[in-house]
């Protein structure tokens, strides 16, 4: 296991510079157009696939980086380019994490390649957990999965919402209730293969930010999938449910994590890195603007009111990055998040991104409020980080429960 280091090695720097070049040369010039169109930027995803950024191999290499810094480094650079386009490029990754976290080796090998497709025929995947009445409250999930033993099939019914790539995905990963009496412990994840009858796209959402990323409802009406599309397999599920029932009868015992939370815990530091990328992008625009914009015969950065804001912005961005790197290293090193360090990284970085992008708009003044400058878009985009994959309030709840050992509500 690699020791923690504050410096990227030569290979990591080369990868970082490569991604940064793609973000600067391909993503940024297209960002305003796709934000206005509010459509999936298929041509940009295809370009990413052609150069190797949108591929299973690329994410596997970053995921298995022994320092743990491959994924956060890649996320920061892509989201520095543009958050909406970047989410379209990396959105498939959440579904892939769901398979890796809960699936068998055979399922991983079979389904993850189908999530990405090929450079000539790119595909995307969707992770479907949230519901109209069950966002942060996963215990209120209503989508049901019932096993048809005679046909060895699972039958799914329900509606998912806020699904990135929902309805346009080649592969959907759906979290559903298999035993309502067990609450969140009675959840499981399922693979819905391409073209499965009964799955359809519901409402497509018109969003405040990340508008180049497709977000929609996914409707499941008597969706039948083969038994081997249960992530992890039925034997493993039956054993887990039996343990949960026994613990419920005994009134305590070891906590059993549900399928959705296993996915979110693995992805929270990566979301923090996304937020760092957007914040850094806005900070850089504001810094350049402050050095060249003159008022009263001198650059506005000569004023402490502006200079001190930029100093705070840079300090907070660097602090957020360090929290993300720590959590990422702990995860790959097998260190338990004894103080909810994954949630800490996501909470702090997302709040920093909202604050820094707002400060960037303020520094640019009236120009910052127009779409002629990218900080307006970055400010809109940053709002999502404190909401998706666990709101800031939920992160604080997770941290508070972890450090106190109390069932705080």
DSSP characters over 133-169 = TBSS-GGG---EEEEETTTTEEEEEEEEEEEETTTT-
**pLDDT of amino acid 4:** 65
Give start-end residues of each CATH 2.40.110.10 domain in the chain. 125-250
47 is catalytic: no
**pLDDT of amino acid 254:** 46
CA 18 to chain centre: 22
| CA–CA separation, 160 and 142 (whole Å) | 9
**pLDDT of amino acid 256:** 46
The pTM for the full model equals 0.93
**pLDDT of amino acid 400:** 97
Q: What is the pLDDT of residues 271-301, one digit of tens each?
A: 999 999 999 999 999 999 999 999 999 999 9
Can you name the residues that pair with 146 across neighbouring β-strands?
155
H-helix or E-strand spanning residue 122: strand 121-122
Query: What letters, b where the CB count within 10 A reaches 16 and e where it falls short, cover 178-213?
Result: beeebbbbbbbbbbbeeebeebebbeebebebbbbb
**pLDDT of amino acid 267:** 77
CA-angle at 132, arms to 127 and 133, nearest 5°: 115
Residue 122: pLDDT over 90: yes
259-404 is classed in which CATH architecture? Up-down Bundle (1.20)
Residue 366: pLDDT over 80: yes
> Catalytic residue among 33, 131, 389, 393, which?
389
Assigned CATH topology for domain 125-250 = Butyryl-CoA Dehydrogenase, subunit A; domain 2 (2.40.110)
Q: What is the mean pLDDT of residues 213-230?
A: 98
| Helices 392-404 and 341-364, axial angle in degrees (round to 10) | 140
Mean pLDDT taken over the chain: 94
Q: What is the mean pLDDT of residues 100-117?
A: 94
**pLDDT of amino acid 62:** 93
| CA–CA separation, 278 and 10 (whole Å) | 24
Give start-end residues of each CATH 1.10.540.10 domain in the chain. 10-122
**pLDDT of amino acid 137:** 79
CATH superfamily entry for domain 10-122: Acyl-CoA dehydrogenase/oxidase, N-terminal domain (1.10.540.10)
Residue 121: pLDDT over 70: yes
Query: N- to C-terminal Cα distance for the chain?
Result: 38
Q: What is the pLDDT of residues 32-83, one digit of tens each?
A: 999 999 999 999 999 999 999 999 889 889 988 999 999 999 999 999 999 9
| Residues 6+ positions from 156 with CB-CB distance below 8 Å | 143, 144, 145, 174, 176, 190, 192, 198, 220, 222, 223, 224, 225
Give the count of beta carbons closer than 10 Å to the beta carbon of residue 327.
26
**pLDDT of amino acid 25:** 98
Q: What is the pLDDT of residues 324-345, one digit of tens each?
A: 999 999 999 989 999 999 999 9
Q: Which of 340, 355, 404, 354 is nearest to 382 (CA)?
A: 354
Tokens matching residue 386: 């404190």
Give start-end residues of each CATH 1.20.140.10 domain in the chain. 259-404
């Amino acid at each position: 296991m690699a020791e923690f280091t504050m410096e990227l090695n030569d290979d990591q720097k080369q990868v970082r510079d490569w991604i940064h070049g793609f973000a600067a040369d391909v993503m940024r010039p297209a960002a305003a157009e796709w934000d206005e169109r509010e459509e999936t930027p298929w041509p940009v995803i295809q370009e990413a696939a052609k150069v190797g950024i949108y591929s299973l191999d690329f994410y596997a290499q970053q995921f298995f980086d022994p320092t743990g810094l491959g994924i956060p480094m890649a996320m920061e650079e892509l989201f520095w380019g543009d958050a909406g386009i970047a989410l379209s490029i990396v959105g498939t990754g959440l579904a892939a994490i769901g398979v890796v976290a809960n699936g068998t080796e055979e399922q991983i090998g079979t389904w993850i390649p189908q999530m990405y497709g090929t450079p000539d025929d790119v595909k995307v995947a969707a992770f479907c957990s949230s519901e109209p009445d069950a966002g942060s409250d996963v215990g209120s999930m209503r989508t049901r999965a019932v096993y048809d033993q005679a046909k060895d099939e699972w039958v799914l019914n329900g509606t998912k919402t806020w699904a990135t790539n929902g309805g346009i995905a080649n592969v959907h990963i759906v979290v559903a209730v298999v035993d309502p009496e067990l609450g969140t412990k009675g959840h499981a994840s399922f693979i819905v293969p391409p073209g499965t009858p009964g799955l359809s796209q519901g409402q497509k959402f018109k969003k405040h930010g990340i508008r180049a990323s497709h977000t929609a409802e996914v409707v499941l009406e008597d969706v039948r999938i083969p038994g081997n599309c249960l992530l992890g397999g039925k034997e493993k599920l039956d054993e887990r449910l039996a343990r949960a029932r026994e613990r419920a009868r005994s009134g305590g015992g070891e906590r059993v994590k549900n399928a959705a939370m296993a996915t979110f815990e693995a992805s929270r530091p990566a979301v923090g890195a996304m937020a760092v990328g957007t914040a850094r992008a806005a900070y850089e625009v504001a810094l350049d603007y402050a050095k060249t914009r003159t008022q009263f015969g001198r650059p506005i950065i000569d004023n402490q009111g502006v200079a001190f804001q930029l100093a705070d912005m840079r300090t907070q961005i660097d602090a957020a990055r360090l929290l993300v790197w720590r959590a990422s290293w702990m995860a790959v090193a097998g260190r338990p998040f004894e103080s909810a360090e994954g949630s800490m990284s996501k909470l702090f970085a997302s709040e920093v991104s909202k604050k820094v992008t707002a400060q960037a708009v303020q520094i640019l003044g009236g120009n910052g409020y127009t779409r002629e400058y990218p900080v307006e878009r970055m400010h809109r985009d940053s709002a999502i980080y404190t909401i998706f994959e666990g709101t800031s309030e939920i992160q604080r709840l997770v941290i508070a429960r972890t450090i106190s050992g109390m069932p705080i509500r």
